[in-house]
Amino acid sequence: MSEKSYNANDLKILEGLEAVRVRPGMYIGSTGIKGLHHILWEIVDNAIDEAANGYADTISVTLHADGSASVEDNGRGMPTDINTKAHMSGVELIFTKLHAGGKFDSENYAFSGGLHGVGASVTNALSSWLNVEVYRKTVFKMSFKSYYDKERKKWMCGIPSAPLEDTGEKTAKRGTYVRFMPDGEVFETTEWNYDAIYKRLKELAFLNKGVRIDLADERTLYREEEVTAEDGDIVLKKVARPAKEPVSFKFDGGLIDFVKYLNEDKTPLYSSPLYYSAVKDIKVKGADAGKIKIEFAVCHTKDDEESLYSFVNNICTVEGGYHETGFHNGLLKFVNDYARANGVLKAKDAPFIADDIKEGLTAVLTVKMNNVEFEGQTKTKLGNPEAKALVEQAVAEGLASLVGVRGNKAVFDEMAKKAKFAADDRIKHRAERDIAKAASDSDQLNLIGKLAACTGKNPELNELFIVEGDSAGGTAKQARVRQYQSILPLRGKPLNVQKKNALQALQNEELKTLISAIGAGFNNSFDVEKSRYKKVIILSDADQDGLHIRCILLTFFFKYMRDLVKAGCVYIGMPPLYKVYKKDVEIYAYDDKELDEAIKKVGKGYSIQRYKGLGEMSAEQLWNTTMNPATRNLVQVTIEDASAATRVIDMLMGDKVEGRKQFLAENANFNKVDGFIERVNFKRDEGEAYN
């Protein structure tokens, strides 16, 4: 076989924004619902940067009836003059050139979330059209379009319709208005998720004290509902979703209000969170590298787990980083010093360890700095080592400075006592480690008669189905591919661990079996690399009991095997709700939208079977609809919005009942991923993430 020639003429040059169009995942992570919202956040972040640096105090986000979205701020307005190097206006430069912007030094923005310099241009490249208005005494306008050039056989992305126009229209407004239409040729869905946007904008308002953020949804969305006709037949009726009322977020308390919000379904140990902020000089190899602003608010509760939410330049760092390490070190140093000085720790007592001061802690930490080093384009982990010592110093010094404030002595006494109780409990219950070890990969006896294990030994290929009940478990065992699919039937509902400590969780037989099956340890000893399965799939009925089991299992994973969720190993299996059939034609539908499509495909004379449980299916049906990787619906669970997830878990699974019934009434669609995990999109087993 002759070798194909390969020379310089074989190299393809992608011009302008074409690279973004050809490989969108490199810039926005995915073309699913997450990527769709990413292009909105890029524009929102630009507005937030204006506010964070003191140039704006109001931001408005609108979801328009035609599917487009707009963001307006009252900041300085994008530059409208001509850039002498690029020979184009600042607006055109921002929207058409990658790595172009005013955020690569500290001259225009002391702190910025958009340091990659690709935000607005990527949004433009992945939109079918984008319009921008700039208000600087007069109104400036510019429009962009994306289209496929058949003659040149290439995408023309974000092409200006004309140069920036000064309309001459006088205006008292100031700032920038951007409206864009996500391109349906790029994204798997272009339907904005209101709840996800609502949560993120509320979070941004907490993080930017005093900034008002408005959200309006002008869309009319429809859902399918089953109704009984006069002749007794079940028919589908389209029902318009009531219009969302415009909302505004503004929190003058900032992080203090944020911590109070997170603790609404918990019992705080003291009335108001502690707050401190500081600005420090950054030194890198002895040289001045700018400044870092550190803010945090803390409050302990009667819970036993930590809820720490960290942000860098308003970006949620769900994977942590050096700032979180510094925060924990500073808090540990302060609490140890205070406990020694005030007799909570005696001379004979060992100092507290990190786990002791984390117990029951709710905290928000935000860091703002220039020259940020995020690990990866998704910006989820801070990689600046210099942040560690500065945050540690600020936390220890800040809390120490608050000791003398009137009323704070009692607060710090509670904090020290909470740590002492945790330390005593840790020492008392060292047996937890022994039980966890017994529930590890060496404890095969615990699995006899319970787990139908697969024969394969490759965790990358192996799947563990957690099935509701022995009946469904028996069907699943018949349906599975034995080489790589394991079945673990649940015998009754597992323990709700949100109300229990680690020792109590380990004494529950169902959870012990689950820990044994996964084989990666538990709690502090959990090591995701030791997991026997890279897909752990919760497979329960689409009814109230099934929803409750999902909640219980997700709460367990979230609390004691969180790294399994972070690694993307936890999934929800989606059994079909309906079978539409006629003679030798049958189509399965997983929600009301698919049901409507199935009815149209089958045509007149169809019948509908509504599945109430997995046990109603034969092994062949269960395989084809729910277990076959080629045809099933499998939803990956993520915790990118960890603060919202924790708060809703506390509400659903904790001791307080206020608001629970209302939440369930509004959200308990039993074939959604979960009552508190929003199902925003799914496709056949391609790992689309849900938050």
CB atoms within 10 A of CB 563: 14
Residue 52 pLDDT: 83
Q: Which pLDDT band, with edges at 50, 70 and 90, does 508 fall under?
A: confident
Question: How far, in Å, CA of 661 to CA of 214, rounded?
Answer: 28
Question: Is the Cβ–Cβ distance between 175 and 75 less than 8 Å?
Answer: yes
pLDDT score for 444? 54
Instruction: Evaluate if residue 681 carries a pLDDT over 50.
Output: no
Which residue in 361, 304, 368, 251 sits closest to 523, CA to CA?
Answer: 304
CATH number at residue 153: 3.30.565.10
Q: How far apart are CA 108 and CA 104, in angstroms?
A: 9
Chain centroid to CA 315: 12
Q: Which residue has the higher pLDDT, 419 or 541?
A: 419
pLDDT in tens, 196-224: 999 999 999 999 999 999 999 999 877 66
Tokens 């047996």 -> residue: 431
Cα dihedral 4, 5, 6, 7, rounded to 10, equals -170
Q: What is the pLDDT of residues 531-587, one digit of tens each?
A: 999 999 999 887 777 878 888 898 899 888 988 988 889 998 888 888 899 888 889
Using CA atoms, how far apart are residues 441 and 436, in angstroms rounded to an integer?
10
- Whether residue 45 contacts residue 178, with contact meaning beta carbons closer than 8 Å, is answered with no
Q: Can you name the residues that pair with 59 across neighbouring β-strands?
A: 73, 213
Task: Check whether residue 478 and residue 537 sit in a common domain.
Answer: yes
Reading the block at residue 89, the tokens are: 């206006």
Final residue in a domain of this structure, among 169, 200, 221: 221
Query: What region does 469 belong to: left with phi over 0, alpha with psi -120 to 50, or beta?
Result: left
Pairing of strands 535-539, 578-582: unpaired
pLDDT band at 117 (very low <50, low <70, confident <90, very high): very low
Q: Which of 405, 427, 449 is the last residue of a domain?
A: 427
Domain ranges, residue 95: 18-221
Whether 463 and 347 share a structural domain: no
86 and 79 Cβ atoms separated by less than 8 Å: no
For 97-116, write each residue's pLDDT tens digit: 876 555 544 555 555 554 33
Asked if 566 and 629 sit in the same domain, the reply is yes
Average pLDDT of span 494-512: 82
Most confident of 50-59, 336-345, 423-432, 573-582: 336-345
Q: Is residue 4 part of a domain?
A: no
- Residue 326 is part of a domain; what is its CATH number? 3.30.230.10
80 shares a domain with 29: yes
Residue 1 lies in a domain: no
Residues 347 and 407 in one domain: yes
pLDDT at 141 over 90: yes
Average pLDDT over residues 226-235: 71
Instruction: Classify residue 488 by its DSSP letter.
Output: E
Q: Which residues are catalytic?
A: 468, 541, 543, 545
Higher-scoring residue by pLDDT: 511, 498: 511
pLDDT score for 532 = 94
Task: Express each pLDDT in 322-373 by its tens digit.
Answer: 999 999 999 999 999 999 999 999 989 999 999 999 999 999 999 998 888 8
255-262 vs 642-653: helix axis angle to the nearest 10? Answer: 40
476 and 437 together in one domain: yes
Cα separation, 129 vs 136, in Å, equals: 23
Q: Angle at Cα 37 formed by Cα 31 and Cα 43, nearest 5°? A: 120
Mean pLDDT of 385-390: 94
User: What percent of the chain has pLDDT above 70?
Assistant: 82
Specify the DSSP element, H or E, that contains 181.
Answer: strand 165-182
Q: Give yes or no: residues 316 and 389 share one domain.
A: yes
- What b/e string do you get for 177-208 counting C-beta neighbours within 10 Å, with b at 16 or more? bbbbbbbeebbbbbebbbebbbbbbbbbbbbb
Instruction: Write the DSSP assignment of 100-127 as a string of letters.
Output: -SS-SSTTT-SS-S-TTS-HHHHHHHTE
